Every structure is written in C-alpha cells, then in structure tokens.
Amino acid sequence: AHVLEIKNATLQNLYHKEPLTVDEVFNKLMEYKEATGRPIYAFFGPTAASGGYYIAMAADYISADRNTTTGSIGVIMSYTNVKGLYDKLGLKSVYITSGRNKSMGASDLDLTDEQRAIYQGVVDEAYDQFVGIVCEGRGMPETTVRKLADGRIYTAKQALANGLIDEVTTLDEALDAFC
C-alpha cells in the first residue's frame, strides 16, 4: 500500500503508528521540502488514516484510490483494566513508587480522577497538534477541521467532498501526473 510518493522514494505502511514516529516522519518530509524546494505528492492506497493522514499533511497534493479509507483524525490512549479478574483470582500486585501517579495505567489498578485528567491532558495536547497540522496542511480553518476531526474514517469520496484530499484517481494516473 503506497502512502506517499516522493520522486522515486516510497514510504509504505505508515497508517497507524505511534505519534512520535508519525511526527518524526512528517517533520523529515517538511525538512526535505524546505531543503530541496521540491513538492511532495501523496497517494493513498487502501488505508491512509490517523498517522498516515497526519504524515500526508506534508504533501502539496493528495490523491486517493476510490476505495481508500482515510481520516481518523484524532487521538486515542487506552489500557486494559484487569482488576476485576485479579480480584476474582485472588491476585494483588504491590507497587512501591516514587509518587502517587507513577503506577497509573497499571492494568490491575483503577484510574483516579486525577490520573484520568492527566491522561486526558496528554490526549488533548496531541489532538490539538494533529488539528493544527491538518489546518496548515489543508489550508482549512480550525473550526472546520475540528468538525471533521472526531476520529471517524472517511471514504475517498467523502474525504474529497470535505477537502481532506485533492482528487480520487488510480495509482497509475497519480504517478503519471506526479512525474
């Protein structure tokens, strides 16, 4: 699945990676554009969502296959709480920590309100950054992006109608136009 085409270099399978990795790739692409003055063209294959969409915000033009799933503009942080299972089995972990929040997110502990607020702050900050990247990359006002950035996915046709991509085409047609 091709996510980005840059002259003859291809970045593949970047559609759902860790935020740090995604931001590093995005920043490297922006450095490449700045250093070379060359435009970046993106082509979305089957999936270019979340991190893949974020990275594509470095592109000057985005094409997508008609069967593309894209969008998923948002941030999620999750953990599995197995406290009930541990209780049922009579298991209990013991934590010796340097602070009351050091063990937050441990799978056998419930989150306190404070810890939930800490995690929400991290998610909110990452979300605001993602929204800003989309605003800049697509030249859209923040209010418009926030309406679109509720985490949902979009078909290529929906993404085009909402200004998230520039055209729906085939890879061959996109490569012909890019090169």
Enzyme catalytic residues = 50, 102
CA distance 82 to 13: 32
Q: And the tokens for 48? A: 């270019």
Alpha-carbon torsion angle 10, 12, 18, 24, nearest 10:
0
* DSSP 8-state code for residue 90: T
Strand partners, 31: none
CA distance 3 to 113: 39
CA distance 146 to 28: 25
Q: And the tokens for 45? A: 């294959």
